[in-house]
């Protein structure tokens, strides 16, 4: 398992639960995998697929996602394909032929296709070793994305009683979990549930007063970061997207009012890093697995906590920090309530109200955001300070705000409890707006008594008074401020009010965490990655994730062997892209006089890699004593193929290894010839051409030599 993990994925250790889940699958048992976004669910079926003799069928709801996953697998050298309605008859047929010849390890299909009786029959003629049902919450009406065709998947257990089923989802509620297990008829299945805490996400809620400028302020200094901004309406999406474009940001809109072609194009441009920002309604998201999204902004209120968790979950899939910013205003709350009122169905209306209330509580609360979110999913979070939310990290200082509160309450009283927040603030500030003058409110005692604070500050005092129960928002058409029982003693001077102390200036941007990497080199590697990706027509993250690039900018790998130590660099990627990246890094180091500190990253992953290095070193020592491969293998008690792979790595690292000691020159010539015809990416066609007398080890050694020469 570990060998495959390194070879195909470039990782040296598993994420939590992955190993246990894989063992369970290898023992042919059904499993239910409940892990949040970014926790590495795909590996749970992709790795066992490599160990099975037959094919693993992955059922996935979205076509765009399938292509993406298959591209990722192919880039890692794993034979995979997908079948869905986007393919022509001939393309489908070609894949069927591959399946019949058992040439594919993983096949992605959409449920509609899978469920065609003819296709099920076809599958029965193959050796299917596992069904993996991705996004399995789509099966449940209780989930946030019910798809009727998913319901039919229960036939899998009837038609393939002996093939294990793995259901995967990132949806956390208990009702949905039970429903999935029941619907799929999973037997004696084991449930693997990871914590839903997304440690790398930073949650913050900002009072929304001038959202466009607040967003600009936030984006300032994040021009190259990818992000998603969610709005409620199509109109808001369009306006914000063009506003950002006008300010020089590369932003595109995405909503259900655009044609399917335009939507696909915009999504595509986002995942390919042609644009940094997608402004979207919630229609956007399920279809993308872009790992390097650095922030998710809610410009408007989301619909529910569950929705909010899923949407924010799209940030930081790669494990690097992600920001989740929600702009909250009571006016938005009002707007949503207004929508809900118009719903016909009483039951639906009740559910919507409940979801809204829960969300408002989340926004208003002064408790750790993480704790509230996790509690919603039935998980207790006990740490006193999570270190990753505004409540914990930017605790608010309070002051005696009685006078400010009295001014507000009295102003609400004197204007007859008939106006909204902004009007009251205008009165306090002595604004000369027409409506105010018409109402003769410039003659009130409270007119213009609030010049000591800015508009924004008064707005936030009022919001706080609402939260504290001194004021309430009411009204049919638009929100109106009303007094509350609790306001009396304050107005009479019998009760003091403690308010959050005004900040010097409103901090919108938090300091970037984990900033210790070489930004200039990172940008250069990103540019290189983009060029290569465009040449191949794949999204940049298919080549390397940001995580891998960042690691490179920390340890400055100077050779292919160094590069192989980077997480996410498996064999295939090493062969394909290694040289280009090493060259870029070496040049950069030379230009900037950087002396790469060799092993400067003592992580667990890193030391595991170091152990690997010392075993290679042992092989090298024996080679220097002029032992042959079989002799070294015998002496070390390792397989011949392992020793060959050590020598391969040494060659790649530019060590002085003479190929002539290992492969006869005649064979070398022959292998080089076939490389010239068939390429070096995949070795099986090369081996086929060469015939019986040649081993994979020999071919790989020659390939390493050719690469180094190039």
Residue 197 interaction partner, one of Zn ion, ligand ADP, none, beta carbon < 5-8 Å per kind:
none
Distance, first Cα to last Cα, the chain: 32
Residue 694 interaction partner, one of Zn ion, ligand ADP, none, beta carbon < 5-8 Å per kind:
none
The answer to whether the CB of 350 falls within 8 A of the CB of 340 is no
DSSP 517-547: S-HHHHHHHHHHHHHHHHHHTS-HHHH--HH
- Is residue 323 within a helix (H) or strand (E), and if so which, with residue range? strand 322-328
Q: How far is the CB of 609 from ligand ADP (least distance, A)?
A: 12
Closest residue (Cβ) to ligand ADP? 40
CA angle 383, 389, 395 (to 5 degrees): 90
3-state SS, residue 129: strand
Q: How far is the CB of 35 from ligand ADP (least distance, A)?
A: 6
Q: How far is the CB of 541 from ligand ADP (least distance, A)?
A: 8
Place of tokens 């205003």: 329
Residue 77 interaction partner, one of ligand ADP, Zn ion, none, beta carbon < 5-8 Å per kind:
none
3-state SS, residue 66: helix
Residue 389 interaction partner, one of Zn ion, ligand ADP, none, beta carbon < 5-8 Å per kind:
Zn ion
Cβ-based nearer residue to ligand ADP, 168 or 462? 168
Cβ-based nearer residue to ligand ADP, 466 or 574? 574
Cβ-based nearer residue to ligand ADP, 41 or 137? 41
Q: How far is the CB of 229 from ligand ADP (least distance, A)?
A: 21
Q: How far is the CB of 241 from ligand ADP (least distance, A)?
A: 27
Q: How far is the CB of 362 from Zn ion (least distance, A)?
A: 12
Residue 554 neighbours by CB distance under 10 Å: 17
List the helix and strand counts (H, then E) for the chain.
Answer: 34, 17
- Residues of this chain that bind Zn ion (CB under 5 A): 368, 370, 386, 389, 392
Residue 370 interaction partner, one of ligand ADP, Zn ion, none, beta carbon < 5-8 Å per kind:
Zn ion
Cβ-based nearer residue to Zn ion, 386 or 652? 386
Residue 200 interaction partner, one of Zn ion, ligand ADP, none, beta carbon < 5-8 Å per kind:
none
d(CA 251, CA 211): 16
Residue 263 interaction partner, one of Zn ion, ligand ADP, none, beta carbon < 5-8 Å per kind:
none
3-state SS, residue 193: strand
Q: How far is the CB of 371 from Zn ion (least distance, A)?
A: 6
Cβ-based nearer residue to ligand ADP, 62 or 708? 62
Cβ-based nearer residue to ligand ADP, 11 or 270? 11
Residue 186 interaction partner, one of Zn ion, ligand ADP, none, beta carbon < 5-8 Å per kind:
none
The answer to whether the CB of 317 falls within 8 A of the CB of 38 is yes
Sign of the alpha-carbon dihedral angle for 265, 268, 274, 280: positive
CA distances from 349 to 58, 352, 478, 600 (A): 37, 5, 19, 57
Residue 41 interaction partner, one of ligand ADP, Zn ion, none, beta carbon < 5-8 Å per kind:
ligand ADP
Q: What is the largest CA-CA distance in the chain?
A: 103
Residue 38 interaction partner, one of ligand ADP, Zn ion, none, beta carbon < 5-8 Å per kind:
ligand ADP
Tokens describing residue 705 = 């030599």
Cβ-based nearer residue to Zn ion, 363 or 392? 392
Q: How far is the CB of 246 from ligand ADP (least distance, A)?
A: 34
CA-nearest of 402, 451, 409 to 426 is 451
Cβ-based nearer residue to Zn ion, 55 or 389? 389
Which residues 6+ apart lie within 8 Å of 398 measured at CB?
498, 499, 500, 501
Cβ-based nearer residue to Zn ion, 320 or 389? 389
Q: Which residues pair with 33 in a beta bridge?
A: 168, 192
Residue 317 interaction partner, one of Zn ion, ligand ADP, none, beta carbon < 5-8 Å per kind:
ligand ADP
Strands 471-474 and 480-483: antiparallel
Cβ-based nearer residue to ligand ADP, 18 or 281? 18
Residue 39 interaction partner, one of Zn ion, ligand ADP, none, beta carbon < 5-8 Å per kind:
ligand ADP
Q: How far is the CB of 546 from ligand ADP (least distance, A)?
A: 9
The answer to whether the CB of 577 falls within 8 A of the CB of 533 is no
Residue 489 neighbours by CB distance under 10 Å: 13
The answer to whether the CB of 307 falls within 8 A of the CB of 183 is no
Q: How far is the CB of 606 from ligand ADP (least distance, A)?
A: 13
Place of tokens 């190929």: 659
Cβ-based nearer residue to ligand ADP, 302 or 568? 568
Phi/psi for 401 (5° steps) reads -100, 20
- Residues of this chain that bind ligand ADP (CB under 6 A): 11, 14-15, 18, 35, 37-43, 289, 291, 317-318, 545, 567
Cβ-based nearer residue to ligand ADP, 135 or 648? 135
DSSP 570-611: -HHHHHHHHHHHHHHHHHHHHHTT----TT----HHHHHHHH
Q: How far is the CB of 13 from ligand ADP (least distance, A)?
A: 6
Cβ-based nearer residue to Zn ion, 272 or 370? 370
Q: What are the start-end ranges of the H helices in 101-210?
A: 111-114, 117-124, 148-151, 155-159, 174-184
Residue 564 interaction partner, one of ligand ADP, Zn ion, none, beta carbon < 5-8 Å per kind:
none
Q: How far is the CB of 136 from ligand ADP (least distance, A)?
A: 12
CA distances from 613 to 561, 582, 597 (A): 9, 19, 17
Cβ-based nearer residue to ligand ADP, 135 or 697? 135
Q: How far is the CB of 39 from Zn ion (least distance, A)?
A: 20
Q: How far is the CB of 502 from ligand ADP (least distance, A)?
A: 41
CA-nearest of 309, 310, 307, 303 to 348 is 303
Residue 392 interaction partner, one of ligand ADP, Zn ion, none, beta carbon < 5-8 Å per kind:
Zn ion
The answer to whether the CB of 646 falls within 8 A of the CB of 684 is no
């Amino acid at each position: 398992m570990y060998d495959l993990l390194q070879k195909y994925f470039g990782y040296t250790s598993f994420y939590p639960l992955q190993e246990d889940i894989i063992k369970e699958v290898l023992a042919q048992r059904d499993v239910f995998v409940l892990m949040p976004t970014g926790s590495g669910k795909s590996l749970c079926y992709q790795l066992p697929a490599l160990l099975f003799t037959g094919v693993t069928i992955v059922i996935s709801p979205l076509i765009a996602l399938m292509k993406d996953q298959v591209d990722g697998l192919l880039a890692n050298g794993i034979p995979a394909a997908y079948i869905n309605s986007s393919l022509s008859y001939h393309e489908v047929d070609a894949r069927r032929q591959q399946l019949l010849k058992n040439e594919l390890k993983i096949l992605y299909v959409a449920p509609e296709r899978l469920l065609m009786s003819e296709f099920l029959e076809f599958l029965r003629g193959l050796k299917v070793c596992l069904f993996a049902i991705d996004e399995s919450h789509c099966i449940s009406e209780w989930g946030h994305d019910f798809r009727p065709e998913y319901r039919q998947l229960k036939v899998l257990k009837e038609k393939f009683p002996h093939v294990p089923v793995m259901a995967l989802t990132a949806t956390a509620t208990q009702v949905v979990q039970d429903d999935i297990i029941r619907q799929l008829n999973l037997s004696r299945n084991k449930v693997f549930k990871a914590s839903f805490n997304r440690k790398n996400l930073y949650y913050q809620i900002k009072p929304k007063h001038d959202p466009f400028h607040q967003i600009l302020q936030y984006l300032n200094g994040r021009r190259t970061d990818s992000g998603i901004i969610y709005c409620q309406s199509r109109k808001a999406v369009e306006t914000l997207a063009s506003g950002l474009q006008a300010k020089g940001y590369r932003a595109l809109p995405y909503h259900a009012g655009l044609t399917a072609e335009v939507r696909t194009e915009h999504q595509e441009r986002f995942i390919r890093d042609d644009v940094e920002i997608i402004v979207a309604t919630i229609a956007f998201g399920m279809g993308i697995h872009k790992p390097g999204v650095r922030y998710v902004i809610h410009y408007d209120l989301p619909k529910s906590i569950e929705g909010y968790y899923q949407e924010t979950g799209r940030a930081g899939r790669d494990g690097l920090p992600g920001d989740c910013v929600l702009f909250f205003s009571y006016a938005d709350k009002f707007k949503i309530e207004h929508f809900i009122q118009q719903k016909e169905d009483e039951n639906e209306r009740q559910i919507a109200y409940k979801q809204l209330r829960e969300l408002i509580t989340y926004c208003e609360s002064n408790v750790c955001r993480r704790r509230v979110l996790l509690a919603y999913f039935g998980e207790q979070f006990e740490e006193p300070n999570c270190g990753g939310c505004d409540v914990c990290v930017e605790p608010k200082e309070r002051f005696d705000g009685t006078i400010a509160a009295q001014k507000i309450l009295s102003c609400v009283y004197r204007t007859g409890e008939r106006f909204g927040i902004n009007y009251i603030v205008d009165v306090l500030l002595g604004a000369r707006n027409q409506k105010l003058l018409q109402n003769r409110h410039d003659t009130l005692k409270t007119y213009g008594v609030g010049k000591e604070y800015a508009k924004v500050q008064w707005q936030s005092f009022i919001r706080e008074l609402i939260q504290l129960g001194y004021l309430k928002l009411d009204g049919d058409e638009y929100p109106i401020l009303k007094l509350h029982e609790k306001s009396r003693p304050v107005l009479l001077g019998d009760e003091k009010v403690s308010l959050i102390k005004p900040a010097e200036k409103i901090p919108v941007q938090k300091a970037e965490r984990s900033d210790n990497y070489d930004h200039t080199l990172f940008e250069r590697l990103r540019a290189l990655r983009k060029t290569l990706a465009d040449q191949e027509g794949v999204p940049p993250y298919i080549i390397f994730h940001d995580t891998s690039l960042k690691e490179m900018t920390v340890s400055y790998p100077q050779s292919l062997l160094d590069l192989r130590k980077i997480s996410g660099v498996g064999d295939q990627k090493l062969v394909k892209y290694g040289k280009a990246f090493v060259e870029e890094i070496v040049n950069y180091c030379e230009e900037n006089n950087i002396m790469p500190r060799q092993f400067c990253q003592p992580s667990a992953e890193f030391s595991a890699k170091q152990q690997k290095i010392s075993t290679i070193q042992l092989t090298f020592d024996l080679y220097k004593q002029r032992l042959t491969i079989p002799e070294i293998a015998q002496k070390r008690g390792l397989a011949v193929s392992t020793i060959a792979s050590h020598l391969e790595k040494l060659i790649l690292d530019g060590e002085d290894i003479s190929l002539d000691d290992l492969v006869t020159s005649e064979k070398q010539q022959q292998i080089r010839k076939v490389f010239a015809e068939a390429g070096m990416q995949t070795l099986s066609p090369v081996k086929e051409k060469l015939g019986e007398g040649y081993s994979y080890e020999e071919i790989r050694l020659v390939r390493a030599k050719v690469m180094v020469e190039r």
